[in-house]
Amino acid sequence: MLSKKELLDMQFIDARARLIDLAAFLDRLERHEGGDDIRLSYFKAALPILLENRPDRAKAVLERFSDHTTELSETAPFQGASGAPVS
């Protein structure tokens, strides 16, 4: 396994770029016209998880974006997925 420093040497610039890209994504959305969107609410609700002191942030973010209902649907409203429970 790599040391923390070795991992940072290898991946810090990439992670930094991704973080800035996320910030720019939120700036971009704010500059554009349109109403509220549930997907953005899920997105913003997931962001604080990144700062939590826990070893399973990726799992927690995925769970935040998951449908937690348990009953089967009668029909498929559409075939794809939105990335967050929108219906």
**Smallest separation, CB 78 to other proteins (Å):** 8
Q: Give residue for tokens 């610039």.
A: 13
Direct distance between the N- and C-terminal alpha carbons of the chain, in angstroms, rounded to an integer: 42
State the Cα–Cα distance between residues 65 and 47, nearest whole angstrom: 11
**Smallest separation, CB 10 to other proteins (Å):** 7
Q: Quick one: 29 or 58, whose CB is closer to other proteins? A: 58
Chain residues in the site for other proteins (CB under 8 A): 1-2, 6-7, 10-11, 56, 58-59, 62-63, 65-70, 72-86
**Smallest separation, CB 82 to other proteins (Å):** 6
Cβ proximity of 45 and 64 under 8 Å: yes
